């Protein structure tokens, strides 16, 4: 009976290739507890042996409904929740939110505060990219770069702890400025020293250890290719978009804060090791962005102006006139956006967060099909998602 | 291209479907008739003068209780009483639901904002996931959290909450269910001092005391 | 060995059969103890090597000096762990699989010549025997993966079986030139043929043997399922591969066998290519033969760990590609080339 049914002519999703033997796709739950899903992501896979036939991301394991909480706390109080979005680069998320509130409320920000914001946000970005490199290497089975990257991240955490008091969740920026001025020690000199060390010594280290390793290139080039068209259609942003060869960076092309004053370049994927938009391209974009972030940190701190660092006293609540605006900024993972609907009160009427990791992950449904399980792991790693931000 | 010109082009195309243009100083926006939104988006994407290739954001909104002066009941997160049960609500929500679309064109570098608004009991909007695939998950999120149905969406499941969850949390009249799948959600009754030492375990209990 | 036989037969007054049984029992116990010990030492060593390569300290507390007792503490902990057998698992196979894996690696140890005359089983087919019994590990891994009734374990087992079956071919082919030179499969004969300083070691005899050594080294990494070829485990893809469901002592058996296998392939490399128990230069002759042998083995293990903690992992199809399309042809060329070289240089015999 089975022979008539299959006729030996199926396969690829509608199995039963061998007459007389009933076979079907393997349903595989990758996650929510899985070493390669970078958090509590669950990927429901349908596989044909090693080949993935269908990927269905299942989200919500870290859902806290921060948007609902936003409606109940006032504008300043909600900054702490933005820390918990992208907990690997909280400064950049802080920056997005305060920029959104300031734009809507017409709040002036002192230049000193903006310089400090840029310096800390870029430090955070470096830390986040270091984790991205580290865990991407780990997904490939390279353990050692992980420890190297964490060693440097530790330095960044120490520096950010000295300025903000927190090691992971900083709550540093407030609408109208930053919470604290520079610490009274030689923080600036230490940051500049770190940045120089990063550029001169550490990045070449990573490049020899991982980037130009033959096995690593074999594993990542021509894998998980996101074309330019797909990247736009799926709303990919950040290093994923730039990895697909699009020279686009919110910091330069849709400027906010004081980024237009500084000089930096936008690295893009060029298909050096394979096709434009493959995993290696997304990886190398992050490596080169670390370099550019270092440049930005140096400029922001060397040109640090004197003056106040807050335009609104810390204890005063922020008042935002009625209106609605969408603001996006470039975080480490992509363009984080806030659509704030204000009703003139002390609390937002609605605060919708446009999660960049969510849009970046969505493309996996398309490009994940036909990859091997190992390549899928590489692709998820190269998208560099963070579940705190997807689930909010 | 400035926002007004974009709106004029759009109005030329969908006529009465483009209801109004609001020249808001921070973010101008256009109000579109609910039924014409997919058509409008397709036009905005495909017209070479507009070329909106990216949907930056799609937000579901609940306008219930909105008041321009901040005096409305916009903060209607219902609290819980001391015994853990929800506060009884005295108001039934009647306000409109809405969706906001934020578009961007990478080639022409301009932005545009569309909004639709519909009554609470007719919460269906045509999907734009056929125009920009990225809308698919945004719409699932809007359905999940705000309870807006997207007609023609290929896979409109809840995204962040469980499929059998009751209610849509970002609605202004949402009350959290008392339990879900047998899991109590309200927790313990509030006490005056949450750090007070726990009451001594009943004699014969095998639970070790807190160290 | 001869001395032991003589001792039991003459001094203790046993018959020949009695002496054989006694000596075999002593050697088996000794091998097991050495194997368990080396697993302990190598766990500690792996941590320290990894830590050294990753610019950190590794274990430093347990036992004061460099955390030497960490491995002991781990073993004690693992003995005390709850033994879980999944409800849906095939119980008999699940229990038997780790034993089979351990048995496969333990049996092979019998033919290792530690010092002149000191070998548990002095077989004429020694090398053949080692390759044969170490294949049993594959069955154990396949069994473990299947019996766990876990999809990840099944993936790991299927990958592992494919990998190990494939890599046995280049592994054995790389050893053939050595056998041709020696004219014997007896492990002692192979070592004896390399007497006379470092230039008489097979690795430096001719260029084909030199290449063969590296082929053997790569294949041996794959054979022991260690990075960059740790397909059956691939902790970032398959959770933990074939031993995902194993806990406690049963997991320890897999662990033990991994390190036993690691040392085994390193020692085979030493006896095939690196002169066995012979010291590299005459000045080092004063070292006991067994010690020289073990030191060389440990150096090979270090090399293995170095590779593991430096390189990323290859993909499963790349692994197969490397085996069938690169290493097997290369090994065949080396075999032919070594034969021709032998004929040309008149070294046959």
CATH code where residue B165 lies: 3.30.460.80
- Selected residue of B28, B68, B137 to mutate for chain A interface (largest A Cβ count, 10 A): B137
B60 vs A352: CB contact, 8 Å cut-off? yes
Query: Residue A359: its chain B contacts at CB < 8 A?
Result: 134, 137
Together in a domain, C190 and C160 = yes
Kindly state the average pLDDT of the residues C128-133: 87
Q: To 5 degrees, how large is the angle CA C49–CA C52–CA C55?
A: 150
C236 vs A50: CB contact, 8 Å cut-off? no
Together in a domain, C156 and C47 = no
Together in a domain, C167 and C71 = no
Taking only residues 137 to 156 of chain C, the set having a beta carbon closer than 8 angstroms to any beta carbon of chain A reads: 151-152, 155
Tens of pLDDT, residues C284-343: 777 787 888 888 888 999 999 998 888 888 888 888 888 899 999 999 998 898 888 888
pLDDT over threshold 70, residue C216: yes
State pTM to two decimals.
0.85
Nearest Cβ partner for B161 among A60, A350, A362: A60
C311 vs A213: CB contact, 8 Å cut-off? yes
User: Does the beta carbon of C283 lie under 8 angstroms from any beta carbon of chain A?
Assistant: no
Average pLDDT score, chain C: 83
Together in a domain, C53 and C200 = no
- Selected residue of A101, A325, A352 to mutate for chain B interface (largest B Cβ count, 10 A): A352
Together in a domain, C229 and C104 = yes
Q: Could you tell me the residue range of the domain that residue C212 belongs to? A: 86-345
Tens of pLDDT, residues C221-255: 888 888 788 877 777 777 778 888 888 888 888 88
Domain edges within chain A:
68-357
Separation between Cα atoms, residue A379 and residue B36, nearest integer Å: 37
Separation between Cα atoms, residue A57 and residue A127, nearest integer Å: 26
State which of C80, C115, C148 marks the end of a domain.
Answer: C80
pLDDT computed for residue C329 by the predictor:
92
Does residue B77 sit within a domain?
Answer: yes
Tens of pLDDT, residues C131-140: 888 888 888 8
Number of separate domains in chain B: 1
Nearest Cβ partner for C309 among A139, A144, A215: A144
State which of C51, C80, C109 marks the end of a domain.
Answer: C80
The alpha carbon of residue A60 is apart from the nearest alpha carbon of chain C, in Å, by 22
Helix (H) or strand (E) holding B101: strand B97-104
- Taking only the tens of pLDDT, chain A with its 392 residues reads 334 444 555 665 666 667 677 777 888 888 788 777 777 888 888 888 788 888 888 888 888 888 888 887 888 888 888 888 888 889 999 999 999 988 888 888 888 888 999 999 999 999 999 999 888 888 888 888 888 889 899 999 999 999 988 888 888 888 888 888 888 888 889 999 999 988 888 888 888 888 888 888 888 888 888 888 888 888 888 899 998 888 888 888 888 888 888 888 889 888 888 888 888 999 999 999 999 999 899 998 888 888 888 888 777 778 888 888 898 898 888 889 999 988 877 788 888 898 888 888 889 888 888 888 888 888 988 888 888 888 88
Together in a domain, C278 and C295 = yes
- Taking only the tens of pLDDT, chain B with its 211 residues reads 788 888 888 888 888 777 888 888 888 888 888 888 888 888 888 888 888 888 888 998 888 877 766 555 544 455 556 555 666 666 677 778 889 999 888 888 888 898 898 888 888 888 888 888 888 899 998 998 888 988 888 888 888 888 888 888 888 777 777 777 777 776 555 555 556 665 555 554 444 444 3
Q: For chain A, list the contacting chains (3+ Cβ pairs, <8 Å).
A: B, C
The alpha carbon of residue A183 is apart from the nearest alpha carbon of chain B, in Å, by 34
pLDDT computed for residue C103 by the predictor:
84
Query: Residue A280: its chain C contacts at CB < 8 A?
Result: none
Omega cis (within 30) before C136: no
Separation between Cα atoms, residue C245 and residue B62, nearest integer Å: 48
Does residue B198 sit within a domain?
Answer: no
- Name the class of domain A68-357: mainly alpha
Which tops the pLDDT comparison, C66 or B145? B145
Does residue B125 sit within a domain?
Answer: yes
Q: pLDDT > 70: what percent of chain C?
A: 96
Q: Could you tell me the residue range of the domain that residue B157 belongs to? A: 3-176
Query: Residue C237: its chain A contacts at CB < 8 A?
Result: 36, 139, 373-374, 377
Q: How far is CA B177 from the centre of its chain?
A: 19
Taking only residues 240 to 269 of chain A, the set having a beta carbon closer than 8 angstroms to any beta carbon of chain B reads: 246, 248, 253
Together in a domain, C143 and C182 = yes
Number of separate domains in chain C: 2
A141 vs C313: CB contact, 8 Å cut-off? yes
């Amino acid at each position: 009976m089975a022979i008539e049914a299959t006729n030996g002519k199926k396969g690829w999703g509608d199995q039963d290739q061998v007459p007389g033997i009933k076979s079907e796709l393997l349903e595989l739950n990758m996650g929510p507890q899985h070493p390669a899903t970078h958090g509590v992501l669950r990927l429901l896979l349908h596989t044909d042996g090693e080949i993935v036939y269908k990927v269905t991301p299942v989200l919500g394991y870290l859902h806290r409904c921060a948007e609902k909480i936003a409606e109940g706390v006032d504008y300043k109080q909600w900054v702490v929740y933005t820390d918990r979005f992208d907990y690997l680069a909280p400064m950049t998320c802080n920056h997005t939110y305060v920029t959104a509130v300031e734009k809507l409320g017409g709040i002036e920000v002192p230049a000193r505060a903006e310089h400090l914001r840029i310096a800390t946000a870029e430090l955070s970005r470096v830390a986040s990219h270091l984790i991205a490199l580290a865990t991407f290497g780990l997904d490939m089975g390279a353990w050692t770069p992980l420890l190297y990257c964490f060693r440097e991240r530790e330095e960044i955490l120490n520096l950010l702890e000295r300025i903000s008091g927190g090691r992971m969740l900083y709550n540093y920026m407030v609408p109208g400025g930053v919470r604290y001025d520079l610490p009274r020690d030689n923080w600036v000199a230490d940051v500049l020293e770190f940045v120089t060390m990063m550029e001169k010594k550490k990045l070449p280290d990573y490049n020899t250890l991982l980037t130009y390793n033959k096995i690593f290139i074999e594993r990542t080039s021509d894998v998980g290719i996101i074309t330019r068209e797909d990247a736009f259609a799926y709303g990919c942003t950040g290093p994923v978009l730039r990895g697909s060869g699009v020279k686009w960076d919110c910091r330069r092309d849709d400027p906010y804060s004081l980024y237009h004053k500084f000089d930096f370049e936008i690295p893009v994927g060029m298909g050096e090791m394979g096709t434009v938009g493959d995993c290696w391209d997304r990886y190398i974009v992050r490596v080169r962005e670390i370099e550019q972030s270092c440049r930005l940190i140096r400029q922001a701190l060397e040109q640090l102006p004197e003056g106040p660092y807050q335009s609104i006293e810390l204890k005063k609540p922020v008042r935002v006139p009625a209106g609605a605006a969408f603001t996006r900024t470039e975080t480490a993972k992509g363009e984080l956006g806030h659509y704030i609907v204000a009703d003139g009160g002390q609390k937002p009427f609605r605060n919708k967060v446009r999660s960049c990791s969510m849009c970046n992950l969505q493309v996996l449904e398309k490009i994940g099909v036909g990859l091997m399980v190992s390549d899928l792991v590489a692709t998820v790693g190269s998208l560099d998602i963070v579940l705190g931000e997807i689930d909010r | 291209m400035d926002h007004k010109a974009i709106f004029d082009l759009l109005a030329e195309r969908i006529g009465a479907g483009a209801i109004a243009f609001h020249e808001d100083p921070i973010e101008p926006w256009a109000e579109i008739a609910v039924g014409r939104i997919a058509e409008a988006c397709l036009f905005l994407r495909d017209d070479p003068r507009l070329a909106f290739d990216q949907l930056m954001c799609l937000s579901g909104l609940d306008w219930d209780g909105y008041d321009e002066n901040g005096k409305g009941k916009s903060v209607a997160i219902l609290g819980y009483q001391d015994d853990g049960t929800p506060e009884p609500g005295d108001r039934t929500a009647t306000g409109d639901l809405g969706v906001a679309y934020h578009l961007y064109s990478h080639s022409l570098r301009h932005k545009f904002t569309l909004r639709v608004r519909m009554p609470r009991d007719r919460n269906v909007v045509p999907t734009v996931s056929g125009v920009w695939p990225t809308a698919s998950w945004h719409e699932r999120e809007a359905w999940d959290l705000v309870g807006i149905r997207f007609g023609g969406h290929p896979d409109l499941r809840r995204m962040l909450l469980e499929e059998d969850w009751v209610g849509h949390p970002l609605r202004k009249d949402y009350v959290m269910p008392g339990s879900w799948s047998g899991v109590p959600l309200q927790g313990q009754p509030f006490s005056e001092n949450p750090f007070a030492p726990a009451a001594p375990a009943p004699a014969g209990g095998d639970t070790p005391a807190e160290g | 060995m001869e001395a032991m036989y003589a001792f039991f037969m003459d001094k203790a007054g046993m018959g020949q059969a009695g002496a054989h049984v006694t000596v075999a029992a002593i050697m088996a116990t000794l091998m097991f103890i050495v194997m368990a010990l080396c697993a302990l030492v190598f766990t500690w060593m792996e941590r320290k090597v990894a830590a050294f390569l990753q610019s950190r300290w590794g274990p430093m507390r347990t036992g004061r000096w460099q955390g030497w007792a960490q491995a002991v503490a781990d073993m004690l902990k693992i003995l005390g762990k709850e033994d879980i057998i999944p409800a849906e698992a095939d119980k008999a196979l699940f229990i038997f699989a780790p034993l089979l894996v351990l048995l496969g690696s333990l049996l092979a140890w019998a033919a290792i010549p530690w010092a002149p005359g000191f070998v548990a089983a002095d077989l004429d087919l020694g090398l053949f025997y080692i390759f044969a019994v170490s294949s049993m590990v594959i069955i154990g891994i396949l069994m473990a993966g299947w019996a766990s009734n876990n999809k990840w374990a099944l993936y790991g087992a299927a990958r592992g079986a494919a990998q190990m079956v494939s890599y046995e071919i280049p592994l054995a082919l790389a050893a053939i030139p050595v056998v041709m030179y020696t004219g014997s499969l007896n492990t002692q004969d192979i070592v004896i043929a390399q007497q006379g300083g470092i230039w008489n070691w097979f690795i430096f005899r001719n260029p084909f043997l030199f290449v063969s050594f590296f082929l053997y080294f790569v294949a041996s990494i794959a054979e022991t399922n260690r990075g960059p070829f740790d397909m059956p485990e691939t902790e970032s893809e398959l959770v933990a591969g074939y031993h995902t469901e194993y806990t406690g002592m049963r997991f320890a058996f897999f662990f033990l066998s991994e390190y036993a296998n690691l040392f085994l392939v390193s020692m085979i490399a030493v006896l095939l290519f690196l002169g066995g128990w012979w010291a590299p230069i005459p000045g080092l002759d004063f070292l006991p033969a067994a010690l020289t042998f073990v030191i060389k083995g440990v150096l090979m293990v270090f090399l293995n760990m170095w590779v593991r903690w430096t390189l990323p992992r290859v993909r499963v199809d790349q692994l197969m590609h490397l085996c069938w399309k690169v290493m097997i042809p290369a090994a065949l060329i080396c075999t032919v080339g070594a034969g021709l070289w032998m004929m040309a240089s008149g070294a046959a015999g």
